[in-house]
Amino acid sequence: MSDKKGMKIKILQYMSFELFVIIFVMFGLFSQNWFTFSNFIMIIKQSSYVGILAIGITFPLITAGTDLSVGAVMFMGMSFSAMLLDKGVPLPVAMLVALIIGCVIGIVNAFFVVDVKVMPFIATLGTMTVIRGITLIFTGSRALNIPAYLTTAFGSGKLFGLIPYPAIVFIFLLLVFHIVLTKTAFGRRIFACGNNLEAAKKAGLNTRLVLYMAYVISGVLAAIAGFVSASQIGNVPAGFGEGYEFDAIAASVLGGTSLLGGTGSILPGVLVGAVTIQMIKTGLTAMQINPYLIDIFQALFILLAVMLDGIKNQVIAKSQSRHIRVAE
Amino acid sequence: MAEEQVLRLEHVSKDFFGIYAITDVSLELNKGEILGLIGENGAGKSTMMNIVCGVLPPTSGSLFFEGKPYEPKKPSDAEAVGISFIHQELNLFNNLNVIDNMFINGFRHIKGLPLNNNKEMAEIAKSALAQVGLDISPYTKVEKLSMGERQLIEIAKSILGDPKVIIFDEPTTSLTNKETEKLFAIIEKLKAEGKSIIYISHILEDVQRLTDKIAVLRDGVITATGKTEEFTIDRMISNMVGRSITQMYPPRIENISDEILLSVKNLSQPGVVKDINLELRKGEILGIYGLMGAGRSELANILFGLDEYESGQIIFKGKVLEKKNPIERIKAGMGYVTENRKEEGLFLEFPVAENINITSLRSLSKKGIVNKKEALKNAQDSKKMFGIKCEAVNKHLVKGLSGGNQQKVVIAKWVSTRPELLIVDEPTRGIDVGAKSEVYNILNELARAGTGILMVSSEMEELIGNCSRIIVMNKGMITGELNNQEICTESLLHAAFIDTAGM
């Protein structure tokens, strides 16, 4: 292989990082106060809940599945927590309830995907609609208030007055699930299941357990993301978490997760992906354009980024395909 | 007792809903012995191995392992006593490294933590890799390895558990000659270490060379067992098919016209093929031989318009073809039986009829609507003509056919387009002797009727037996051409191995 070609592949392989840098610089040219430490910290903080969702969704994605219910899980978990908190239930109990909701929905998703054998996107699209509907019945489409201390102490609080707590939670979860994915037997087996489920069964792996775990992780992390997000917003509006599954999948894919399963990473993958997406959002807002256009641009940007990523994979796959050494 | 018995099957039978898959099979395997198990597809080899490995329970009969009754309920029971099965389709995960693959169902942990101890596993993996003579880092991803290396990884993985019996199912189908030699050396070594081996293969020469004793299965019954010395290839075949195939290859009645059907001029594509020139006449069977990676299949893909090329010309029936356009070629009368029938040649979940008709839907339809009657008739005619063994053509799914019958479906699919040129790539890979002979007959019939056939193969025997001329490729170039007077194994090999740099 010639050096030129090798270079081309290198450039493509690190495209997520390059996109990251390009988008970072581009918005910097258009907006004021972009290249400041406080802006950077703010982006990390704001990317925290999409990032946490993306950590979770990466697990079903690696198994060649998906989880479209994450935004709805955020909504349901946080709504019930907020209602309990309103009734004076202590915070840890309310949080536990949200986590249990996430866990149960994860199990339900896995049941449909693994045991009933419904295609993951249909199964989780179904649960997404159902749980959002159920929650709306309970909340009556009202925005729910959450205790002010959640916002002051956590949502906008900073460790040593420097690093926002949501960012710390995000980074902590990144580290934990990076280790889970790369260093534990479960982590390796999830890759095996995503690569070839039949072979994994033949190898004697408990593929059912592995797949259930993947959806449960996704559900539980979505519940955590609900807390992180609500404590930043200050309440739980009726459209809470709506459309976040798109951001989460995009963040994971930008970070190198393949929708075909078998590949993906938490570090650096999800971190780079989530921050890139948040930069696009923040950058567009900072440019002070028509808010209606922001949504459109945002989606187009994300689609473009994911599309480039797809092209990259195709080109790399093509260049690495079998080559015969022709006599010169 | 002269020899130590490891595995014994006594009067084992298995029926599925009243139909016997194997009947009254008795077999013995001694320590340090290689048993060759041969039989046509569907003869019951897989059923038998599935019983041994605990995948299926026998209907009647009993199994003994090292003299003790052995009743495996699940695959892990077989592993626990020391039986290891290396499947034909390798069970590796390409996206993981060698360590992960070897320890996937039993990772070693760092003491007291749920974290994998990669260091410890790497050490163990290294010594296992050394035993199979593979000098690679245990951290290498499997997707970077050749098929031969992957096979060796499977073996290394299986010897980790220190098995007493290792079963190989068609281990050489995707290996190069060199890799096959290496595999055989390792099997010999395992034998010397006192392991017992069951070797299943369609390549009878290999079975003859490698094994100590042979068992032949036909229709679920053992038709012959004995020491390998007592078997000639002919005897193996006649035991397998129940008749002797004196004539594996059909007698050639050549009907080659002077009319040139296909002519390729100076065809080159960097990194794939270089300066290819060839001509094929009507009614001719032209062979293309080469070792794996010589560029045979790549050339076939280019000729059929699937892959692009940089320079040169492909002229079919006097007309220069477009560079990359298979549709044009099909319309002009070309057909292509690809190397890999399951992935590229068939819709496994579709019935036989739909598979056969897929290429001729245009001629089977009126005003864009498929004429069901005609389509069914076309499929039934093909079934009859090719002797495809299946139930109703519009019901029987292709995935339920044996390899040989699947291959016939692929060929039938193209023949029903009435092609003038048929490219066949590895037309008999992985199918049994009886089906092979039938495929050769079909191809010869076609040639006699005037079809030009380009037969790409890595099996010398079949090229010698079928082709009037053979072109030899090496490193993407044509390095030799032999007509049927000069064709012999030695001259083919000479051209295939020849160092092109020295020419």
Cα distances (angstroms) measured from residue A144 to each of A73, A93, B98, B151:
16, 18, 52, 60
- Angstrom distance (rounded) from CA A181 to CA A265: 8
Are residues A327 and B94, on separate chains, in Cβ contact within 8 Å?
no
- Contact partners, residue B265, CB within 8 Å, separation at least 6: B277, B312, B313, B314, B315
Alpha helices in B72-229 (DSSP H): 75-81, 98-102, 118-131, 147-160, 177-192, 204-210
Tell which B residues from 405 to 464 touch A, by Cβ distance under 8 Å: none
- SS3 letters for B263-303? EEEEEEECCCEEEEEEEEECCCEEEEECCCCCCHHHHHHHH
What does the pLDDT read at residue A319? 64
- Angstrom distance (rounded) from CA B236 to CA B261: 40
Per-residue pLDDT 10s for chain B (503 aa) are 456 889 999 999 988 776 777 889 999 999 999 999 988 766 788 888 889 988 888 989 999 999 889 998 888 888 889 999 888 777 889 889 999 999 988 888 888 888 888 889 999 999 999 888 888 899 999 888 887 788 889 889 888 888 999 999 888 877 777 888 888 999 999 999 999 999 998 888 889 999 999 999 888 889 889 999 998 888 888 788 776 555 677 777 777 888 889 999 999 988 888 899 999 999 999 999 887 677 888 899 999 998 888 899 999 998 898 878 888 898 899 999 988 887 788 888 888 888 898 888 888 888 888 888 888 998 998 888 888 888 888 888 888 787 788 888 998 888 888 899 999 998 888 777 778 888 898 899 889 988 999 999 877 778 888 888 889 888 888 888 887 666 666 666 666 655 443 33
Q: What percent of chain A has pLDDT over 90?
A: 50
Query: How distant is the Cα of A132 from the closest Cα of chain B, in angstroms?
Result: 36
Are residues B95 and A179, on separate chains, in Cβ contact within 8 Å?
no
Best of A177, A195, A326 to mutate (most B CBs within 10 Å, chain B) = A326
Q: Measured between CB atoms, does B87 come within 8 Å of chain A?
A: yes
Pick the more confident residue, A35 or A91. A91
Q: Measured between CB atoms, does B91 come within 8 Å of chain A?
A: yes
- Angstrom distance (rounded) from CA B464 to CA B487: 6
What does the pLDDT read at residue B502? 35
Cα distances (angstroms) measured from residue B409 to each of B27, B176, B368, B466:
35, 27, 24, 20
For B45, the enclosing helix (H) or strand (E) is helix B45-52
What does the pLDDT read at residue B243? 62
| Minimum-distance CB partner of A183 among B104, B115, B501 | B115
| Minimum-distance CB partner of A188 among B76, B91, B100 | B100
DSSP calls for B442-461 = HHHHHHHTT-EEEEEES-HH
- Contact partners, residue B310, CB within 8 Å, separation at least 6: B268, B269, B270
Are residues B96 and A188, on separate chains, in Cβ contact within 8 Å?
yes
**Amino acid at position A93, single letter:** V
Query: How distant is the Cα of A208 from the closest Cα of chain B, in angstroms?
Result: 14
**Within 13 Å and on the Cβ side, how many CA atoms surround B193?**
16
Is-contact A231 A151, C-beta < 8 A?
A: yes
For the record, the structure tokens of A261 come out as: 């399963």
- Angstrom distance (rounded) from CA B274 to CA B294: 11
| Minimum-distance CB partner of B114 among A184, A262, A325 | A184
Strands B213-218 and B34-39: parallel
| Minimum-distance CB partner of A192 among B96, B109, B116 | B96
Cα distances (angstroms) measured from residue A146 to each of A72, A244, B301:
18, 21, 65
Is-contact B197 B36, C-beta < 8 A?
A: no
- Angstrom distance (rounded) from CA A163 to CA A49: 16
- Angstrom distance (rounded) from CA A172 to CA B112: 22
The arithmetic mean of pLDDT across residues A165-182, rounded, is 94
For the record, the structure tokens of B361 come out as: 């839907």
For B471, the enclosing helix (H) or strand (E) is strand B469-474
Handedness of CA A281, A282, A284, A288 (dihedral sign): positive
Please write the tens of the pLDDT for every residue from A186-244.
999 999 999 988 888 877 788 999 999 999 999 999 999 999 999 998 999 999 999 89
What does the pLDDT read at residue A92? 93
Best of A4, A324, A325, A328 to mutate (most B CBs within 10 Å, chain B) = A324
- Angstrom distance (rounded) from CA B483 to CA B467: 9
- Angstrom distance (rounded) from CA B466 to CA B286: 9
**Within 13 Å and on the Cβ side, how many CA atoms surround A2?**
5
For B434, the enclosing helix (H) or strand (E) is helix B433-448
Overall pTM surpassing 0.90 (yes/no): no
Which residues are B423's β-sheet partners?
A: B336, B454
What does the pLDDT read at residue A1? 44
- Angstrom distance (rounded) from CA A194 to CA A216: 16
The candidate with the shortest Cα–Cα distance to B250, out of B439, B403, B469, B426, is: B439
Which residues are B198's β-sheet partners?
A: B35, B167
DSSP calls for A82-141 = HHHHHTT--HHHHHHHHHHHHHHHHHHHHIIIIIS---HHHHHHHHHHHHHHHHHHHHTT
Pick the more confident residue, A23 or B100. B100
- Angstrom distance (rounded) from CA B263 to CA A90: 84
What does the pLDDT read at residue B486? 66
What does the pLDDT read at residue A199? 84
Is-contact B99 B117, C-beta < 8 A?
A: no
Architecture of domain A39-316: Orthogonal Bundle (1.10)
Q: Measured between CB atoms, does A317 come within 8 Å of chain B?
A: no
What does the pLDDT read at residue B497? 59
What does the pLDDT read at residue A318? 67
DSSP calls for B49-111 = HHHHTTSS--SEEEEEETTEE---SSHHHHHHHTEEEE-SS----TTSBHHHHHTTTS--B-T
The arithmetic mean of pLDDT across residues A109-130, rounded, is 95
What does the pLDDT read at residue B149? 85
pLDDT at A169 over 90: yes
Are residues B293 and A194, on separate chains, in Cβ contact within 8 Å?
no
Domain ranges of chain A: 39-316
Q: Measured between CB atoms, does A21 come within 8 Å of chain B?
A: no
For A165, the enclosing helix (H) or strand (E) is helix A165-183
| Minimum-distance CB partner of A324 among B91, B107, B272 | B272
- Angstrom distance (rounded) from CA B308 to CA B16: 49
The arithmetic mean of pLDDT across residues A298-303, rounded, is 79
**Amino acid at position B27, single letter:** L
| Minimum-distance CB partner of B91 among A189, A199, A322 | A199
- Angstrom distance (rounded) from CA A87 to CA A61: 38
The candidate with the shortest Cα–Cα distance to A125, out of A255, A301, A225, A246, is: A246
Domains plus CATH for chain B? Answer: 5-241 (3.40.50.300), 260-502 (3.40.50.300)
What does the pLDDT read at residue B307? 87
Unique residue bearing structure tokens 């499997």:
B142
